[in-house]
Chains A and B, each alone.
Chain A
Amino acid sequence: MVSIVAAQQGREEILDRLKRELYVCFECGKCSGSCVVFRVKDDMNPRLFVSSILEASSIDEILEDENVWSCAICYDCTERCDQGIDFTHTLFELKNLSTEIGKQPQAIKEELATLHATGRTSPINARALKKREALDLPEIQVPDLEAIQGLIDRVTSYGTSEKKVKEE
Protein backbone atom coordinates (compact mmCIF):
# COMPACT_ATOMS: atom_id res chain seq x y z
CA MET A 1 0.00 0.00 0.00
CA VAL A 2 2.76 2.42 0.85
CA SER A 3 5.86 2.77 -1.21
CA ILE A 4 8.77 5.08 -1.19
CA VAL A 5 8.91 7.93 -3.66
CA ALA A 6 11.04 6.99 -6.61
CA ALA A 7 13.65 9.71 -6.30
CA GLN A 8 15.14 8.79 -9.65
CA GLN A 9 12.19 10.08 -11.64
CA GLY A 10 12.18 13.51 -13.21
CA ARG A 11 9.37 15.92 -12.44
CA GLU A 12 7.63 15.43 -15.77
CA GLU A 13 7.71 11.70 -15.40
CA ILE A 14 6.30 12.07 -11.91
CA LEU A 15 3.44 14.22 -13.19
CA ASP A 16 2.69 11.63 -15.87
CA ARG A 17 2.73 8.82 -13.37
CA LEU A 18 0.56 10.69 -10.86
CA LYS A 19 -1.98 11.30 -13.60
CA ARG A 20 -1.93 7.67 -14.62
CA GLU A 21 -2.58 6.67 -11.01
CA LEU A 22 -5.47 9.10 -10.74
CA TYR A 23 -7.25 8.99 -14.10
CA VAL A 24 -9.63 6.26 -12.89
CA CYS A 25 -11.21 8.74 -10.49
CA PHE A 26 -14.90 9.17 -11.17
CA GLU A 27 -15.25 12.11 -8.84
CA CYS A 28 -17.74 10.40 -6.58
CA GLY A 29 -16.55 12.38 -3.59
CA LYS A 30 -16.09 9.44 -1.25
CA CYS A 31 -12.60 10.74 -0.43
CA SER A 32 -13.76 14.23 0.45
CA GLY A 33 -16.70 12.83 2.38
CA SER A 34 -14.26 10.69 4.36
CA CYS A 35 -11.69 13.44 4.85
CA VAL A 36 -11.39 14.59 8.45
CA VAL A 37 -9.83 17.81 7.21
CA PHE A 38 -12.44 18.63 4.55
CA ARG A 39 -15.05 18.34 7.26
CA VAL A 40 -13.56 21.35 8.99
CA LYS A 41 -11.85 23.12 6.10
CA ASP A 42 -13.82 23.29 2.90
CA ASP A 43 -11.02 24.33 0.57
CA MET A 44 -9.20 21.05 1.28
CA ASN A 45 -11.30 18.93 -1.06
CA PRO A 46 -9.46 15.76 -2.10
CA ARG A 47 -11.87 15.14 -4.98
CA LEU A 48 -11.21 18.53 -6.52
CA PHE A 49 -7.54 18.13 -5.69
CA VAL A 50 -7.43 14.96 -7.79
CA SER A 51 -9.15 16.72 -10.65
CA SER A 52 -6.74 19.67 -10.48
CA ILE A 53 -3.78 17.27 -10.61
CA LEU A 54 -5.32 15.65 -13.68
CA GLU A 55 -5.59 19.07 -15.32
CA ALA A 56 -2.20 20.42 -14.19
CA SER A 57 0.46 21.13 -16.76
CA SER A 58 3.36 20.90 -14.31
CA ILE A 59 4.21 19.64 -10.86
CA ASP A 60 5.03 23.17 -9.77
CA GLU A 61 1.51 24.26 -10.66
CA ILE A 62 0.16 21.59 -8.30
CA LEU A 63 2.56 22.63 -5.56
CA GLU A 64 1.12 26.16 -5.61
CA ASP A 65 -1.85 24.72 -3.73
CA GLU A 66 -0.98 24.98 -0.07
CA ASN A 67 -3.46 22.22 0.73
CA VAL A 68 -0.70 19.84 -0.32
CA TRP A 69 0.20 20.13 3.35
CA SER A 70 -3.32 19.92 4.75
CA CYS A 71 -3.55 16.14 4.99
CA ALA A 72 -3.99 14.69 8.48
CA ILE A 73 -2.80 11.33 7.14
CA CYS A 74 -5.78 9.49 8.55
CA TYR A 75 -5.84 7.22 5.43
CA ASP A 76 -9.64 7.23 5.31
CA CYS A 77 -9.72 8.33 1.66
CA THR A 78 -7.31 5.58 0.70
CA GLU A 79 -9.18 2.92 2.65
CA ARG A 80 -12.52 3.83 1.10
CA CYS A 81 -11.74 4.75 -2.50
CA ASP A 82 -13.84 2.49 -4.71
CA GLN A 83 -11.36 2.97 -7.53
CA GLY A 84 -8.39 1.91 -5.43
CA ILE A 85 -6.59 5.28 -5.45
CA ASP A 86 -4.07 5.79 -2.65
CA PHE A 87 -4.44 9.54 -2.36
CA THR A 88 -2.68 9.70 1.01
CA HIS A 89 0.39 8.46 -0.76
CA THR A 90 -0.06 10.90 -3.64
CA LEU A 91 0.01 13.71 -1.09
CA PHE A 92 3.13 12.28 0.53
CA GLU A 93 4.82 12.46 -2.84
CA LEU A 94 3.65 16.01 -3.40
CA LYS A 95 4.83 17.08 0.04
CA ASN A 96 8.23 15.55 -0.63
CA LEU A 97 8.40 17.44 -3.92
CA SER A 98 7.22 20.62 -2.25
CA THR A 99 10.01 20.33 0.32
CA GLU A 100 12.58 19.84 -2.41
CA ILE A 101 11.83 23.32 -3.67
CA GLY A 102 11.52 24.79 -0.20
CA LYS A 103 7.77 25.40 -0.35
CA GLN A 104 6.90 23.69 2.89
CA PRO A 105 5.05 25.77 5.52
CA GLN A 106 7.15 27.73 8.00
CA ALA A 107 6.20 25.48 10.92
CA ILE A 108 7.41 22.45 8.99
CA LYS A 109 10.66 24.19 8.07
CA GLU A 110 11.25 24.88 11.73
CA GLU A 111 10.44 21.33 12.72
CA LEU A 112 12.85 19.94 10.14
CA ALA A 113 15.58 22.27 11.35
CA THR A 114 14.96 21.26 14.96
CA LEU A 115 15.04 17.59 14.09
CA HIS A 116 18.27 18.05 12.21
CA ALA A 117 19.86 20.06 14.98
CA THR A 118 18.76 17.95 17.93
CA GLY A 119 17.53 14.58 16.65
CA ARG A 120 14.13 15.37 18.17
CA THR A 121 11.06 17.41 17.39
CA SER A 122 10.53 18.76 20.93
CA PRO A 123 13.87 20.22 21.94
CA ILE A 124 15.07 19.71 25.47
CA ASN A 125 14.74 22.80 27.67
CA ALA A 126 15.65 23.71 31.18
CA ARG A 127 12.07 23.49 32.38
CA ALA A 128 11.73 20.00 31.06
CA LEU A 129 14.93 18.91 32.71
CA LYS A 130 13.72 20.29 36.02
CA LYS A 131 10.40 18.50 35.70
CA ARG A 132 12.16 15.25 34.93
CA GLU A 133 14.48 15.63 37.86
CA ALA A 134 11.55 16.23 40.17
CA LEU A 135 9.98 13.02 38.93
CA ASP A 136 13.22 11.18 39.44
CA LEU A 137 13.46 10.43 35.73
CA PRO A 138 16.86 10.05 34.05
CA GLU A 139 18.33 12.87 32.05
CA ILE A 140 17.69 12.72 28.32
CA GLN A 141 20.89 11.78 26.56
CA VAL A 142 21.42 13.35 23.18
CA PRO A 143 21.74 10.42 20.81
CA ASP A 144 24.67 10.03 18.44
CA LEU A 145 23.83 13.33 16.82
CA GLU A 146 26.66 13.70 14.37
CA ALA A 147 26.07 10.30 12.84
CA ILE A 148 22.36 11.00 12.59
CA GLN A 149 22.92 14.34 10.92
CA GLY A 150 25.30 12.71 8.49
CA LEU A 151 22.68 10.11 7.73
CA ILE A 152 19.93 12.69 7.22
CA ASP A 153 22.14 14.72 4.92
CA ARG A 154 23.07 11.71 2.90
CA VAL A 155 19.62 10.29 2.35
CA THR A 156 17.37 13.32 2.14
CA SER A 157 16.36 14.89 -1.09
CA TYR A 158 15.59 18.30 0.39
CA GLY A 159 18.22 20.92 0.94
CA THR A 160 19.27 20.78 4.56
CA SER A 161 22.80 20.19 3.51
CA GLU A 162 25.25 20.86 0.73
CA LYS A 163 26.50 17.31 0.91
CA LYS A 164 23.41 15.91 -0.77
CA VAL A 165 24.47 12.64 -2.34
CA LYS A 166 22.48 11.15 -5.20
CA GLU A 167 21.29 7.62 -4.83
CA GLU A 168 23.00 5.24 -7.20
Chain B
Amino acid sequence: MTKPNLLFTGCLIEVNYPYLEKLANDLLPKIGLGISDRIEFMCCPEPISFRGATDYSWLVLAARNLCLAEQKGANIISLCNGCENTLAQANIMLQNDPELLEKVNRDLAEIGFNYKGTVKTRHFLQAIYEEVGLEKLKSFVTRPLSFLKGASHAGCHLLNPADILKFDDPLDPVVLDELMDALGIEVIDYEGKTLCCGVSLATADDREGSINALKTKLLATQKYDADCLIVGCPFCFKQYDVGQRLNRKRLDEVEPTPVYYYLQLLGLAMGLPFEETSISTHKIKSQAHMALFKGEEA
Protein backbone atom coordinates (compact mmCIF):
# COMPACT_ATOMS: atom_id res chain seq x y z
CA MET B 1 0.00 0.00 0.00
CA THR B 2 1.37 3.41 -0.85
CA LYS B 3 1.87 5.81 1.98
CA PRO B 4 -0.07 9.06 2.14
CA ASN B 5 1.81 12.27 1.34
CA LEU B 6 2.22 15.24 3.62
CA LEU B 7 2.92 18.60 2.09
CA PHE B 8 6.03 20.27 3.46
CA THR B 9 5.16 23.83 2.53
CA GLY B 10 8.07 25.66 4.09
CA CYS B 11 8.21 28.98 5.91
CA LEU B 12 8.59 31.21 2.86
CA ILE B 13 5.60 29.87 0.95
CA GLU B 14 3.37 29.84 4.02
CA VAL B 15 4.02 33.50 4.69
CA ASN B 16 4.96 35.14 1.39
CA TYR B 17 3.41 32.92 -1.26
CA PRO B 18 0.46 31.14 0.35
CA TYR B 19 -1.16 30.90 -3.10
CA LEU B 20 1.48 28.33 -4.01
CA GLU B 21 0.40 26.23 -1.03
CA LYS B 22 -3.15 26.54 -2.26
CA LEU B 23 -2.16 25.53 -5.77
CA ALA B 24 -0.30 22.50 -4.46
CA ASN B 25 -3.25 21.43 -2.34
CA ASP B 26 -5.61 21.77 -5.27
CA LEU B 27 -3.54 20.53 -8.16
CA LEU B 28 -1.43 17.66 -6.87
CA PRO B 29 -4.41 15.46 -5.90
CA LYS B 30 -5.93 16.13 -9.34
CA ILE B 31 -2.94 14.56 -11.07
CA GLY B 32 -2.84 11.62 -8.71
CA LEU B 33 -0.66 12.76 -5.84
CA GLY B 34 -2.92 12.55 -2.82
CA ILE B 35 -2.19 15.02 -0.03
CA SER B 36 -3.18 14.39 3.59
CA ASP B 37 -4.46 17.06 5.91
CA ARG B 38 -2.00 19.78 6.81
CA ILE B 39 0.17 19.24 9.87
CA GLU B 40 2.37 21.82 11.56
CA PHE B 41 5.99 21.30 10.72
CA MET B 42 8.54 23.77 11.93
CA CYS B 43 11.30 25.30 9.80
CA CYS B 44 12.98 22.46 7.87
CA PRO B 45 15.49 23.98 9.17
CA GLU B 46 17.06 26.17 6.57
CA PRO B 47 20.13 24.45 5.06
CA ILE B 48 22.39 27.43 4.42
CA SER B 49 22.49 29.80 7.36
CA PHE B 50 21.14 27.60 10.10
CA ARG B 51 23.16 24.58 9.10
CA GLY B 52 26.13 26.85 8.62
CA ALA B 53 25.71 28.10 12.16
CA THR B 54 25.11 24.78 13.77
CA ASP B 55 25.37 21.56 11.88
CA TYR B 56 24.16 19.28 14.63
CA SER B 57 21.10 21.27 15.72
CA TRP B 58 20.19 21.48 12.07
CA LEU B 59 20.17 17.70 11.94
CA VAL B 60 18.20 17.25 15.16
CA LEU B 61 15.50 19.72 14.14
CA ALA B 62 15.23 18.18 10.69
CA ALA B 63 14.85 14.80 12.38
CA ARG B 64 12.01 16.21 14.44
CA ASN B 65 10.18 17.14 11.25
CA LEU B 66 10.81 13.69 9.82
CA CYS B 67 9.37 12.22 13.04
CA LEU B 68 6.15 14.15 12.57
CA ALA B 69 5.71 12.54 9.16
CA GLU B 70 6.70 9.14 10.50
CA GLN B 71 4.09 9.36 13.24
CA LYS B 72 1.45 9.85 10.54
CA GLY B 73 2.87 6.95 8.54
CA ALA B 74 3.37 9.40 5.70
CA ASN B 75 5.96 10.49 3.16
CA ILE B 76 6.85 14.09 2.49
CA ILE B 77 6.40 16.16 -0.65
CA SER B 78 8.19 19.49 -0.35
CA LEU B 79 7.57 22.69 -2.26
CA CYS B 80 10.98 24.27 -1.79
CA ASN B 81 14.52 23.29 -2.82
CA GLY B 82 15.90 24.36 0.56
CA CYS B 83 13.42 22.26 2.51
CA GLU B 84 14.01 19.27 0.27
CA ASN B 85 17.77 19.66 0.54
CA THR B 86 17.62 19.70 4.34
CA LEU B 87 15.10 16.90 4.70
CA ALA B 88 16.74 14.62 2.13
CA GLN B 89 20.26 15.11 3.45
CA ALA B 90 19.26 14.70 7.08
CA ASN B 91 17.17 11.66 6.22
CA ILE B 92 19.99 9.91 4.36
CA MET B 93 22.51 10.75 7.07
CA LEU B 94 20.26 9.25 9.71
CA GLN B 95 19.29 6.23 7.65
CA ASN B 96 22.90 5.38 6.81
CA ASP B 97 24.53 5.98 10.17
CA PRO B 98 23.01 4.00 13.04
CA GLU B 99 25.35 5.61 15.57
CA LEU B 100 24.34 9.08 14.53
CA LEU B 101 20.67 8.11 14.55
CA GLU B 102 21.05 6.83 18.08
CA LYS B 103 22.69 10.03 19.23
CA VAL B 104 20.03 12.18 17.59
CA ASN B 105 17.30 10.02 19.09
CA ARG B 106 18.76 10.50 22.55
CA ASP B 107 18.28 14.23 22.11
CA LEU B 108 14.85 13.85 20.54
CA ALA B 109 13.75 11.67 23.43
CA GLU B 110 13.79 14.78 25.61
CA ILE B 111 10.82 16.11 23.69
CA GLY B 112 9.19 12.73 23.28
CA PHE B 113 10.30 11.94 19.73
CA ASN B 114 12.06 9.00 18.16
CA TYR B 115 12.98 8.59 14.47
CA LYS B 116 13.12 5.16 12.90
CA GLY B 117 14.09 6.24 9.41
CA THR B 118 11.01 5.15 7.47
CA VAL B 119 10.07 8.41 5.78
CA LYS B 120 10.69 9.14 2.11
CA THR B 121 11.04 12.77 1.09
CA ARG B 122 10.57 14.16 -2.39
CA HIS B 123 10.44 17.53 -4.06
CA PHE B 124 7.12 18.04 -5.82
CA LEU B 125 8.82 18.13 -9.22
CA GLN B 126 10.41 14.80 -8.42
CA ALA B 127 7.08 13.36 -7.26
CA ILE B 128 5.36 14.48 -10.45
CA TYR B 129 8.17 13.18 -12.65
CA GLU B 130 8.54 9.83 -10.94
CA GLU B 131 5.05 9.01 -9.77
CA VAL B 132 2.73 10.71 -12.26
CA GLY B 133 5.08 10.47 -15.22
CA LEU B 134 5.22 12.59 -18.35
CA GLU B 135 2.64 10.67 -20.33
CA LYS B 136 -0.03 10.83 -17.66
CA LEU B 137 0.84 14.44 -16.96
CA LYS B 138 0.24 15.34 -20.60
CA SER B 139 -3.22 13.81 -20.37
CA PHE B 140 -4.24 16.49 -17.86
CA VAL B 141 -3.20 19.35 -20.14
CA THR B 142 -6.17 21.02 -21.74
CA ARG B 143 -4.52 24.33 -22.66
CA PRO B 144 -0.95 23.81 -23.89
CA LEU B 145 1.19 26.87 -23.12
CA SER B 146 2.96 26.78 -26.46
CA PHE B 147 3.43 30.55 -26.56
CA LEU B 148 5.94 30.47 -23.68
CA LYS B 149 9.66 30.22 -24.41
CA GLY B 150 10.75 29.00 -21.03
CA ALA B 151 14.24 28.68 -19.54
CA SER B 152 14.29 26.14 -16.76
CA HIS B 153 16.07 26.75 -13.48
CA ALA B 154 16.05 23.64 -11.33
CA GLY B 155 18.29 25.28 -8.72
CA CYS B 156 21.47 24.23 -6.96
CA HIS B 157 19.92 22.69 -3.90
CA LEU B 158 17.62 20.40 -5.78
CA LEU B 159 20.47 19.15 -7.96
CA ASN B 160 23.26 18.70 -5.43
CA PRO B 161 24.48 16.59 -3.73
CA ALA B 162 23.18 14.46 -6.57
CA ASP B 163 23.74 11.11 -4.89
CA ILE B 164 21.40 12.17 -2.09
CA LEU B 165 18.80 14.30 -3.89
CA LYS B 166 18.64 11.87 -6.82
CA PHE B 167 16.65 14.39 -8.82
CA ASP B 168 18.64 14.93 -12.00
CA ASP B 169 22.12 15.08 -13.52
CA PRO B 170 23.61 18.20 -11.94
CA LEU B 171 25.79 18.78 -15.01
CA ASP B 172 23.02 18.47 -17.52
CA PRO B 173 19.62 18.78 -15.86
CA VAL B 174 16.66 17.89 -18.06
CA VAL B 175 13.85 16.81 -15.74
CA LEU B 176 12.31 20.27 -15.35
CA ASP B 177 12.66 20.79 -19.13
CA GLU B 178 10.70 17.63 -19.75
CA LEU B 179 8.05 18.65 -17.25
CA MET B 180 7.76 22.02 -19.02
CA ASP B 181 7.57 20.33 -22.38
CA ALA B 182 4.67 18.25 -21.08
CA LEU B 183 2.73 21.49 -20.57
CA GLY B 184 3.41 22.47 -24.16
CA ILE B 185 5.99 25.11 -23.26
CA GLU B 186 8.77 25.69 -25.78
CA VAL B 187 11.87 24.71 -23.83
CA ILE B 188 14.88 26.94 -24.34
CA ASP B 189 18.17 25.11 -23.91
CA TYR B 190 20.83 27.54 -22.77
CA GLU B 191 24.40 27.61 -21.58
CA GLY B 192 24.04 28.62 -17.95
CA LYS B 193 21.22 26.34 -16.86
CA THR B 194 23.09 25.32 -13.73
CA LEU B 195 24.04 28.84 -12.64
CA CYS B 196 22.99 29.83 -9.14
CA CYS B 197 20.16 32.33 -8.60
CA GLY B 198 22.25 34.01 -5.92
CA VAL B 199 19.78 34.00 -3.06
CA SER B 200 22.19 32.22 -0.71
CA LEU B 201 24.55 35.15 -1.03
CA ALA B 202 21.83 37.59 -0.12
CA THR B 203 21.08 35.46 2.94
CA ALA B 204 24.71 35.89 4.01
CA ASP B 205 24.57 39.67 3.58
CA ASP B 206 26.43 39.64 0.28
CA ARG B 207 24.19 41.88 -1.78
CA GLU B 208 26.81 42.58 -4.44
CA GLY B 209 27.47 38.90 -5.15
CA SER B 210 23.77 38.23 -5.19
CA ILE B 211 23.07 40.90 -7.81
CA ASN B 212 25.95 39.65 -9.96
CA ALA B 213 24.56 36.13 -9.87
CA LEU B 214 21.13 37.39 -10.83
CA LYS B 215 22.53 39.40 -13.70
CA THR B 216 24.72 36.59 -15.05
CA LYS B 217 21.76 34.25 -15.05
CA LEU B 218 19.36 36.64 -16.74
CA LEU B 219 21.89 37.55 -19.43
CA ALA B 220 22.41 33.86 -20.14
CA THR B 221 18.69 33.19 -20.63
CA GLN B 222 18.27 36.29 -22.72
CA LYS B 223 21.06 35.27 -25.08
CA TYR B 224 18.92 32.33 -26.13
CA ASP B 225 15.70 34.32 -26.41
CA ALA B 226 13.92 32.84 -23.45
CA ASP B 227 10.96 34.97 -22.40
CA CYS B 228 10.51 33.59 -18.91
CA LEU B 229 12.23 31.59 -16.21
CA ILE B 230 10.51 28.59 -14.70
CA VAL B 231 11.38 27.41 -11.22
CA GLY B 232 10.28 24.98 -8.54
CA CYS B 233 11.65 26.81 -5.52
CA PRO B 234 10.18 29.83 -3.72
CA PHE B 235 13.64 31.18 -2.88
CA CYS B 236 14.80 31.16 -6.49
CA PHE B 237 11.38 32.58 -7.34
CA LYS B 238 11.77 35.41 -4.85
CA GLN B 239 15.28 36.18 -6.03
CA TYR B 240 14.21 36.41 -9.69
CA ASP B 241 10.97 38.25 -9.02
CA VAL B 242 11.65 40.59 -6.10
CA GLY B 243 15.38 40.71 -6.86
CA GLN B 244 14.82 42.05 -10.37
CA ARG B 245 12.47 44.73 -9.03
CA LEU B 246 14.73 45.80 -6.15
CA ASN B 247 17.85 45.96 -8.29
CA ARG B 248 16.28 47.31 -11.43
CA LYS B 249 18.88 50.07 -11.75
CA ARG B 250 21.75 47.65 -11.56
CA LEU B 251 20.21 45.41 -14.21
CA ASP B 252 19.79 47.91 -17.01
CA GLU B 253 21.32 45.63 -19.67
CA VAL B 254 18.79 43.00 -18.80
CA GLU B 255 15.27 42.77 -20.16
CA PRO B 256 12.86 42.29 -17.26
CA THR B 257 12.14 38.57 -17.36
CA PRO B 258 9.08 37.17 -15.61
CA VAL B 259 9.50 34.08 -13.50
CA TYR B 260 6.83 31.43 -12.94
CA TYR B 261 6.61 28.75 -10.33
CA TYR B 262 5.91 25.43 -12.06
CA LEU B 263 2.61 24.84 -10.29
CA GLN B 264 1.21 28.11 -11.63
CA LEU B 265 1.81 26.96 -15.18
CA LEU B 266 0.57 23.47 -14.43
CA GLY B 267 -2.65 25.10 -13.22
CA LEU B 268 -3.04 27.21 -16.31
CA ALA B 269 -2.35 24.25 -18.56
CA MET B 270 -5.00 22.28 -16.71
CA GLY B 271 -7.56 25.02 -17.27
CA LEU B 272 -7.37 26.83 -13.95
CA PRO B 273 -8.68 30.42 -14.19
CA PHE B 274 -5.83 32.93 -14.47
CA GLU B 275 -6.81 34.74 -11.25
CA GLU B 276 -6.25 31.63 -9.17
CA THR B 277 -2.58 31.52 -10.15
CA SER B 278 -1.91 34.93 -8.53
CA ILE B 279 0.48 35.67 -11.38
CA SER B 280 -0.91 39.20 -11.38
CA THR B 281 0.72 39.73 -7.97
CA HIS B 282 4.24 39.13 -9.33
CA LYS B 283 6.65 42.05 -9.25
CA ILE B 284 7.87 41.37 -12.78
CA LYS B 285 4.95 40.95 -15.10
CA SER B 286 4.70 40.34 -18.81
CA GLN B 287 1.55 41.94 -20.14
CA ALA B 288 1.84 39.81 -23.27
CA HIS B 289 1.94 36.60 -21.27
CA MET B 290 -0.89 37.69 -19.04
CA ALA B 291 -3.08 38.47 -22.01
CA LEU B 292 -2.36 35.07 -23.46
CA PHE B 293 -2.91 33.37 -20.11
CA LYS B 294 -6.30 35.06 -19.88
CA GLY B 295 -7.11 35.04 -23.57
CA GLU B 296 -6.92 31.35 -23.93
CA GLU B 297 -9.17 31.03 -20.97
CA ALA B 298 -11.99 32.84 -22.69
Q: Do chains A and B touch in the complex (CB under 8 A)?
A: yes
* A residues with CB within 8 A of B: 1-2, 4-5, 7, 36-37, 39-41, 44, 69-76, 78-79, 91-93, 95-96, 99, 104-108, 111-112, 115, 119-125, 128, 131-132, 135-138, 140-144, 147-148, 150-152, 154-158
Partner of A75, one of B12, B56, B161, B212: B161
What does DSSP make chain A's interface, helix, strand, loop or mixed?
loop
Q: Which residues of B contact A154 (CB under 8 A)?
A: 107, 110
Please tell me if the beta carbons of A144 and B111 are within 8 angstroms of each other in the complex: yes
CA gap between A2 and B213 in the complex, in Å: 27
Per-residue A-contact encoding for B179-208, CB less than 8 Å = 1, 0 else: 000000000000000111010110111101
Chain A residues with CB under 8 Å of B41's CB are: 143
List residues 58-93 of chain B with CB under 8 A from any CB of chain A.
Answer: 59-61, 64, 85, 89, 93
Interface residues of B in 84-108 (CB under 8 A from A): 85, 89, 93, 100, 107-108
Which of A41, A44, A108, A131 has a CB less than 8 Å from the CB of B49?
Answer: A108
Segment among B17-25, B131-139, B283-291 that sits at the interface with chain A: B17-25
Give the nearest-CB partner of A168 in chain B.
B106
28 A-B pairs whose Cβ atoms sit less than 8 Å apart in the complex = A1-B164, A36-B156, A39-B213, A40-B212, A75-B161, A95-B53, A96-B53, A107-B205, A108-B49, A111-B203, A112-B53, A119-B42, A120-B11, A121-B11, A121-B50, A131-B18, A136-B22, A137-B21, A137-B22, A147-B111, A148-B61, A148-B111, A151-B60, A151-B61, A151-B64, A154-B107, A155-B57, A157-B56
Kindly count the residue-residue contacts between A and B in the assembled complex, taking CB atoms under 8 Å apart. Answer: 196
A151 B107 Cβ-Cβ under 8 A: yes
With both beta carbons as reference points, the residue of chain B lying nearest to A1 in the complex is identified as B161
In the assembled complex, how far is the CB of residue B9 from the closest CB belonging to chain A, in whole angstroms?
9
B13 CB, min distance to chain A CBs, angstroms: 9
CA of A71 to CA of B203 in the docked complex: distance in angstroms? 11
Residues of chain B with a CB closer than 8 A to A112's CB:
49-50, 53
